[in-house]
Amino acid sequence: MSLEDRLDEIERRLQAIEAEWSEPAVASDPDMSRRLGREQAQLAPIVANHRELKETRAQLTAARKDFTSETDPEIREMARDIIGELEAREVALMEALRVGLLPRDPNDDRNVIMEIRAGAGGDEAALFGSELFRMYLRYAERRRWAVETMSFTETGIGGLREAILQINGDGAYSRLKFEGGVHRVQRIPATESSGRIHTSTVTVAVLPEADEVDVQIDEVRDLRIDIKRASGPGGQSVNTTDSAVRITHLPTGLVVEIQDEKSQHKNKAKAMAVLRSRLLELAQREAHEEEAAARRVMVGSGDRSEKIRTYNVPQDRVTDHRIGMDLHNLPNVLDGDLDKLLDALIQTDQARRLANLDGDPPSG
């Protein structure tokens, strides 16, 4: 199928969606409305760009005709300028269409389950973990995403041992998926008397939130659910009821423990949401290992064993190792100013996929 045929097919599909909105079945079905709304939002920019491309090409044909038939030097110069502008616009629209036609990550529209854990470095790693936790909260705030802290385990000095966040909002996974991996901080700890720079790490896992229909779990056969009393740092009791829930998925050995809520039922619901997302990510990773290997070449896989970024405090520098990008003004980044980094990662990923697309044999 040629590019023009694909674009015409997309325009017909958009017209069909617009017609479906008037059907009573759609109005009475929220799930269908959401699905159609998402598809319409994806296709509408492609159709708008295609229509503008056709109009630009028509104007370009007319301008070239005027240029060749005109004898007045001034008018020919004006026509040459117009042709240059139209040609630049044609190139930009073609690039936008090529990006728009790239295969979408099916998880991009999902919400996110993010897990943050202190790694190597003891108390210093835990303190940096709490800073990353705040960084993602601030970034979500900037994007007007809703955040729920599903689990938070702190150390005695205010550091973070482990936290699990649920982040809901348009494009949450499409942007945050690049944050998965090992984040490294280099700085002089407040407790360091000799002024030596220490290196500590925090791991971040970014999982697409799974719906119940995505992952089938037989609660009787597949799960072991243990209930116990929640506890805080140093064994201090968080509440006086047996509300902490630990769920073990027997077929895979995955374990999720949630204790933040006083309600056992709420903790179980949160633990099940995290478990479903981990199982979905596991299934997708196994199914797309070849694709994931290709993606690792350019932007990393998000695997927890990979060092993806270094935050160098003495040099006021953030380095993303996947794309060799350095940013200064580290306090801004830790305050949630992540868009420059994430935009660069997204553009790099798009460029790689476009290069792969160009290398594919023509279809049809």
Residue 134 pLDDT > 80, yes or no? yes
The pLDDT assigned to 326 comes to: 95
Question: Taking a C-beta distance cutoff of 8 angstroms, is the pair 349, 152 a contact?
Answer: no
Q: Of the candidates 77, 100, 123, which is a domain's last residue?
A: 100
326 part of a folded domain = yes
The pLDDT assigned to 230 comes to: 64
Q: Which of 134, 181, 137, 129 is nearest to 155 (CA)?
A: 129
Mean pLDDT in residue range 102-111: 81
For residue 220, the domain's CATH number is: 3.30.70.1660
360 part of a folded domain = no
357 part of a folded domain = no
**Radius of gyration from C-alpha coordinates of the chain:** 26
Cα-flanking dihedrals φ and ψ of residue 321, to 5°?
-70, -20
Residues 129 and 232 in one domain: yes
Residues 217 and 320 in one domain: yes
Q: Which of 215, 212, 209 is nearest to 277 (CA)?
A: 209
The pLDDT assigned to 213 comes to: 58
Kindly indicate the confidence band of residue 297, based on its pLDDT and cuts at 50, 70 and 90: very low
Mean pLDDT in residue range 153-160: 85
Residue 240 pLDDT > 70, yes or no? no
199 part of a folded domain = yes
In this structure, what DSSP letter does residue 262 have?
A: S
Residues 87 and 122 in one domain: no
Q: Over the stretch 253-264, which tens digit does the pLDDT of each residue have?
A: 888 888 877 788
306 part of a folded domain = yes
Q: Which residue has the higher pLDDT, 28 or 293?
A: 28
Mean pLDDT in residue range 146-173: 88
The pLDDT assigned to 187 comes to: 92
The number of folded domains in the chain is: 2
Residue 67 to residue 78: CA distance in whole angstroms: 9
Q: Over the stretch 43-76, which tens digit does the pLDDT of each residue have?
A: 898 999 999 999 999 999 998 988 888 888 888 8
Q: Over the stretch 170-229, which tens digit does the pLDDT of each residue have?
A: 889 999 999 999 999 999 887 676 778 889 999 999 988 877 656 778 888 888 888 877
363 part of a folded domain = no
Residue 87 pLDDT > 80, yes or no? yes
Residues 82 and 137 in one domain: no
Q: Of the candidates 49, 65, 100, which is a domain's last residue?
A: 100
**Could you please report the per-residue DSSP string of 49-104?**
HHHHHHHHHHHHHHHHHHHHH---HHHHHHHHHHHHHHHHHHHHHHHHHHHHTSPP
The pLDDT assigned to 300 comes to: 44
Q: Which residue has the higher pLDDT, 28 or 358?
A: 28
- The highest-confidence range among 64-68, 164-168, 231-235, by mean pLDDT, is 164-168
Residues 116 and 243 in one domain: yes
What's the domain range around 96?
3-100
Residue 261 to residue 264: CA distance in whole angstroms: 7
Residues 301 and 186 in one domain: yes
- Intra-chain end-to-end CA distance of the chain, in Å: 5
Residues 127 and 230 in one domain: yes
The pLDDT assigned to 110 comes to: 85
57 part of a folded domain = yes
Q: Which residue has the higher pLDDT, 274 or 292?
A: 274
Residues 46 and 169 in one domain: no
Kindly indicate the confidence band of residue 358, based on its pLDDT and cuts at 50, 70 and 90: low
164 part of a folded domain = yes
Q: Of the candidates 100, 135, 156, which is a domain's last residue?
A: 100
Question: Taking a C-beta distance cutoff of 8 angstroms, is the pair 7, 97 a contact?
Answer: yes
CA angle 7, 11, 15 (to 5 degrees): 170
Mean pLDDT for the chain overall: 83
Residues 263 and 321 in one domain: yes
Kindly indicate the confidence band of residue 271, based on its pLDDT and cuts at 50, 70 and 90: confident
Residue 243 to residue 227: CA distance in whole angstroms: 6
Residues 189 and 308 in one domain: yes
Residues 148 and 53 in one domain: no
Residues 171 and 291 in one domain: yes
